[in-house]
Amino acid sequence: MLAVLPPTIHELLELEGFRRMMKINPWLPETMRWGNPWRLWALKDSGVWVTKEYPTYADVWRVALKAIRADYPDVCVVSKRYLIPPARALSRMLEYEHPRFPWCPRCRRPTYYGAYTERHHALRLQPALTEDEPFRCYYCGLRKAMAREFLW
């Protein structure tokens, strides 16, 4: 387990720029809108992460808000198909507020990239792990190599 965890959704939503970003429906290319391109991860009080997929951002954000208001310890909204950079102003603010935690363009939040086993909640859905660069997002399991251009 990490000595210091990345900021929770509750901490991030205290930041006006982050709160504003989460309320805006992110653009997805037409070719990536089929099926359920959005995934919600919610951390239960028991320490277990639960997940469900949704067809639109409005759907996933509505359920995420319910989980946040129900005081789940953490919630993460994931774009399964499209990597989304932070707005420049938000990037500067997060870099200042949470300098230890770089941006994950898949779950659109500061994260920790670590070497996890297949027991990690997000990696049980994608068991083909690599050893060449095993570092992955704490929340969604995205490889750090995929997020390189978004790191500060």
Residue 15 pLDDT class (50, 70, 90 cuts): very high
- Residue 51 CB neighbour total at 10 angstroms: 15
pLDDT, one tens digit per residue, over 62-78 is 999 999 999 999 999 99
> Among the residues of the chain, which ranges form H helices?
9-12, 16-23, 57-69, 88-97
CA torsion sign for 50, 8, 35, 135 is: negative
pLDDT-wise least confident of 28-42, 45-59, 131-145: 131-145
The DSSP annotation for 28-62 comes to: --GGG-SS--EEEEEE-TTS-EEEEEESSHHHHHH
Domain boundaries, the chain: 9-25+35-150
The chain-wide mean pLDDT, for the chain, equals 87
